[in-house]
Amino acid sequence: MEHSTLKIEGMTCMGCVRTLTSVLSALPGVNHVAIDLESGIAKVDHNAAMTSLDALGEAIEGAGFELV
Ligand SMILES: [Cu+2]
């Protein structure tokens, strides 16, 4: 299990946090997602063999946010 810490731009409210949390949680091998709105930091526990860091980034951008 990888513990990735990602910096995300574009989240403005708790609705964004909920949206992104559910998008990331739905990816295969993602175990836990914790997103802090104020800092823009997302902590994701994931099986990198199933969902790589790149795949997380693609999902984030696909949801309309930006991985910094
Ligand atoms: Cu929002």
Q: What is the pLDDT of residues 23-44, one digit of tens each?
A: 999 999 999 999 999 999 999 9
57 Cα: distance to centroid of ligand 1 (angstroms): 18
pTM of the model: 0.94
49 Cα: distance to centroid of ligand 1 (angstroms): 30
Bridging pattern class, strands 41-46 and 2-9:
antiparallel
Q: Which residues contact 16 (CB under 8 A, 6 or more apart)?
A: 10, 37, 65
10 Cα: distance to centroid of ligand 1 (angstroms): 8
Q: Structural domains in the chain?
A: 2-67 (3.30.70.100)
Q: How confident is the model at residue 18 (pLDDT cuts 50, 70, 90)?
A: very high
9 Cα: distance to centroid of ligand 1 (angstroms): 11
CA-CA distance, 32 to 8, in Å (whole number)? 17
52 Cα: distance to centroid of ligand 1 (angstroms): 25
49 phi and psi angles, rounded to 5 deg: -75, -25
Query: For residue 21, what are its two tokens?
Result: 């949390």
CA-CA distance, 3 to 47, in Å (whole number)? 9
Q: How confident is the model at residue 8 (pLDDT cuts 50, 70, 90)?
A: very high
